[in-house]
A and B are shown apart, each in its own frame.
Chain A
C-alpha cells in the first residue's frame, strides 16, 4: 500500500516568489492536513481538507492557501515568500474519522 507522497522533496525559492507543493494521500483517505515544521516552533498546523472543503485552519497569514481535489490529492500554495517560510512542510492523511495521521516525508523549502 503506497504511503503519503509529497512532491517535490526539496525546493529552493527566492524571496517574493510563490510556490506550490503537492500531496497525494493514501488511497481511501479523504482527510489531508498540512503542517509546517521548524526547529524553533516545531510542528504547526496550517489547514485540513476533507472532501474538497477546508475543515480546520491554523493561524497562518493569508499567503498560505491550499485546496483539495476530487481524488483527495491536495496542494498548498505560499505566495510572496519570506525568508521565515523556510521549513519542512508536511502533509498527512487520515481516514474520515481516524484518530491519527499518516505523514509523508515532507518538502524541504528553502527561501533565499
Chain B
C-alpha cells in the first residue's frame, strides 16, 4: 500500500465552483500535512500547512485533516481560472523526516 494516495484526475470545473481535493494516507505516525500547488514549468509551492486534525482556512482555501480516518482534503471556494494547476498533498512524520507526496491532481477551471 502506498503511503499517500491521491484522487486521480484530471478535474475540470467551471469558474466559481467549489473544488474538493482529497488524499488518504496509511501511516498513523504522520503528523504534518501540506498542500502544494504546481504551475506548469514551475516547482511546487506550499499552499497550506496543518499540524493536527481539524480545519485551517486561508482566504478561499480550506485544508481539512481527519487523523482518525487518515484523510486530508483541500477545498477551494469560488474557484478562478488562475487556480488551474496541479495540486499535491504531502505528509511527513516528524520535523526531520522526509516529505512524501501524493501523485497530484491537475485542476482546470474553465472561465
Interface residues of A (CB under 8 A from B): 4, 33, 35, 41-43, 45, 48, 50, 55-56, 58, 90, 92, 97-106
* Sample (14) of A-B pairs whose CB atoms are under 8 Å apart: A4-B43, A42-B102, A43-B101, A45-B100, A56-B97, A90-B44, A97-B95, A99-B51, A99-B92, A100-B46, A101-B46, A102-B45, A103-B44, A106-B43
> What sequence of 0s and 1s flags, for each residue 9-50 of chain B, a beta carbon within 8 Å of any chain A beta carbon?
000000000000000000000001010100001111110010
Chain A residues touching B, majority SS: strand
- A92 surroundings in chain B (CB, below 8 A): 43, 99
Bound-complex Cα distance A101 to B47 (A):
11
What's the tally of chain B residues with a CB closer than 8 Å to chain A? 24
List the B side residues contacting A100 at CB < 8 Å.
34, 36, 46, 49, 90, 99
Residue B69 CB within 8 A of the other chain: no
Interface residues, chain B, with chain A CB atoms under 8 Å away: 32, 34, 36, 41-46, 49, 51, 88, 90, 92, 95-104
With contacts A43-B101, A56-B97 taken as known, whether A105 is within 8 angstroms of B43 at the C-beta atoms is: yes
Known contacts being A104-B43, A105-B43, is A97 close to B99, with CB within 8 Å? no
B90 cross-chain contacts in A, Cβ below 8 A: 100
Partner of A103, one of B43, B95, B97, B102: B43
User: Cβ of A58: which chain B residues have Cβ within 8 Å of it?
Assistant: 98
Other-chain contact of B98, A56, A98, A102 (Cβ < 8 Å) = A56
Closest B residue to A57 by beta carbon equals: B98
A97-B95, A99-B49, A100-B49 known; A42 vs B43 contact (CB < 8 Å): no
Q: Using Cβ atoms and an 8 Å threshold, which residues of chain A touch B45?
A: 102-103
Is there contact, CB below 8 Å, between A45 and B43? no
Residues of B within 8 Å of A99, CB to CB, are 32, 34, 49, 51, 92, 95
Chain B residues whose C-beta falls within 8 Å of the C-beta of A35 in the assembled complex: 101
Extra pairs beyond A43-B104, A45-B98, A56-B98 (7, CB < 8 Å)? A33-B98, A33-B99, A42-B103, A48-B98, A55-B96, A90-B43, A92-B43
